[in-house]
Structure 1
Amino acid sequence: MPRSATTPFKNRILQGAALAMIGLALAGCSTTKDKMTTGSIPASTRPVESMDVNEVRSATERAGQIYEKNPRDPVNGVYYATLLRSAGRDAQALAVMQQVAISNPNDRNVLAAYGKAQAAAGQLQQALDTIGRAQTPDRPDWKLVSAQGAILDQMGKPSEARARYRDALDIMPNEPSVLSNLGMSYVLTGDLRTAETYLRHAAGQPTADSRVRQNLALIVGLQGRFSEAEQIARRELSQQQADANVAYLRSMLSQQNSWQKLASKDGQQPNNTN
């Protein structure tokens, strides 16, 4: 896509999409489930992405207190960093993971979470190297392969990124998070129709979660089909979460000519259903 066609608004959308991809790619890599150490978080802790703002604040306070007592604990350290990132405190999350990684240099989950924190802080090449260290060639983890793809996408290397996604799909066919990342990769290069194809395939998988469907809602909305996007965004979410997501969609799509420009680049005429 020509550089001159890229608007500041579009840059914000695409940067946000790339960061969301990294988060989705590493979902499931960031907790150490096979061993719980003294003082670690309970195994029944709710996923961070399902918490509201108050729950995140409270959980962050508790995890921070545990971290102060034992900064070497890999389970709580990863959890604490995840909470910090969810609150937008990326620099602090990176500092936490640096300390945890020093104490657990061979823990794959720690390295994966460290790479995630580096990517969120904009240290993309370092993140790629860290996740590469977490990988084992004889038993590759598809989540890490997909995460490498997400980082390559943010580095502006879509061909390499998509190759990594397809490698991940060879290991885990029809995995919705990988299909979602592959679809979002096409968003980054302005191919919204191809992106929608992959996102619909991802959303149709039995194990697809709400983040995949929110990505689909974004792609549909960017093509001007806002009523359809709103219906997708409201599925399987609490009223509060749905209202927040729809408000975010509306704020993006209300920007002057934003989705029209994206749609025209994709060779489509927008359908204004606002």
Structure 2
Amino acid sequence: MARPHLLRSSVARATILICLAMAVTGCNTTKSDTITTGSIPKTSSAPLDGMDAAQLAETERAIGGAYVKNPKNKDIGLRYATVLGMTGKHAQALAVMQQVAIANPTDRQVLAAYGKAQAAAGELEQALGTIGRAQTPDHPDWRLMSAEGAVLDQLGRSNEARQKYRMALQTQPNEPTIMSNLGMSYVLSGDLKTAETYMRNAAQQPAADSRVRQNLALVVGLQGRFSEAETIARKELSQSQADTNVTYLRSMLSQQNSWAKLADKDKPAKLAAN
């Protein structure tokens, strides 16, 4: 079956990184000390997902300098790894998280972010193990369930992934990030209609953020409704943020042939995966 190969394609990897970024957001933290993108407490007042490329580069330099001075600081290390991941430097982000994990070997938040970094760097089986160590069976964290689902999706184990997402929804009903990740799972199996249903439900939730709407925009665009997709991508954002979202959306949609091949080759297995 061609499915495992396709799931390792650049298109599928980009989708899974979206899921992972959403899945571990705020693990073991309160709302007041989380940032909008990633899984770490903020060390400045600027949310990372509102930054353009130049701002991210400046943040990377600043937080990188702080990390060099204090590599064992959990908050600095987590934020630095998040910025590195957002700029595509996944190997370096993993190296940073390895050091943070050595200094904080039992911290659930650190283990969750470490698992995310491993998955982003392609170390999928290791990521499952790390996320598993972060989870506590007597008090399971829905974010970790969702993160595990995202990794399982990339491994081509869609049935197990969706089971994890549904378990997470039992713990945290109507959580938009989980529903969005579940929708992305159906994107990877080529079932865009079902994916859109979950995405729209997610986007309608009060807690939905721009990443959830961006995922909905992607699914709508993949079905050829480009004008509607751009309208969704621009919703409730500043002009610069909206332009960034639309640029990203167009980049993803430019890989339409890859998405089409993914959908076509997965059609025989789609019914079995539901």
Shorter-chain TM-score bucket reads 0.7 to 0.9
| Larger-Rg structure | 1
Distance 1:105 1:258 in 2: 39
Select the residue among 12, 15, 27 that pairs with 2:13: 15
User: Residue 211 of structure 1 aligns with which residue?
Assistant: 211
User: Residue 270 of structure 1 aligns with which residue?
Assistant: none
Change over 3 Å in CA distance of 1:207–1:224 after alignment to 2: same
CA contact (8 A) 2:42 2:75 kept: no
User: Residue 140 of structure 1 aligns with which residue?
Assistant: 140
- Over residues 128-184 of structure 1, what are the superposed CA-to-partner deviations in whole Å (9 max), with x where a residue is unaligned? 111111111111111011000000001110000000001100100000000000000
CA contact (8 A) 1:31 1:79 kept: no
User: Residue 99 of structure 2 aligns with which residue?
Assistant: 99
Distance 1:82 1:141 in 2: 20
Deviation at 1:33, TM superposition (A): 8.5
User: Residue 24 of structure 1 aligns with which residue?
Assistant: 22
Distance 1:230 1:173 in 2: 29
User: Residue 73 of structure 2 aligns with which residue?
Assistant: 73
What amino acid maps onto 1:196 in structure 2?
A: E
Distance 2:127 2:42 in 1: 28
User: Residue 152 of structure 1 aligns with which residue?
Assistant: 152
CA contact (8 A) 2:188 2:262 kept: no
CA contact (8 A) 1:26 1:112 kept: yes
User: Residue 198 of structure 1 aligns with which residue?
Assistant: 198
Distance 1:85 1:257 in 2: 26
Query: Which stretch shifts more, 45-54 or 23-32?
Result: 23-32
Structure 2 gaps, min length 5: 34-40, 268-274
Distance 2:91 2:185 in 1: 26
Change over 3 Å in CA distance of 1:265–1:246 after alignment to 2: farther
CA contact (8 A) 1:32 1:109 kept: no
Distance 1:161 1:30 in 2: 22
More helix by share: 2
CA contact (8 A) 2:21 2:116 kept: yes
What amino acid maps onto 2:27 in structure 1?
A: C
TM-score under structure 2 length normalisation:
0.85
Equivalent positions of 1:1-274 (< 5 A) are 3=2, 11-29=9-27, 44-254=44-254
Distance 2:231 2:181 in 1: 22
The structure with higher relative contact order (CA 8 Å, sep 6+) is 2
Change over 3 Å in CA distance of 1:223–1:134 after alignment to 2: same
Deviation at 1:209, TM superposition (A): 0.4
CA contact (8 A) 1:199 1:215 kept: yes
Q: Root-mean-square deviation (CA), in Å?
A: 2.9
Deviation at 1:106, TM superposition (A): 0.8
Deviation at 1:72, TM superposition (A): 1.0
Deviation at 1:68, TM superposition (A): 1.5
User: Residue 272 of structure 1 aligns with which residue?
Assistant: none
Aligned-residue sequence identity (percent) comes to 62
What amino acid maps onto 2:24 in structure 1?
A: L
TM-score under structure 1 length normalisation:
0.85
Distance 1:211 1:89 in 2: 20
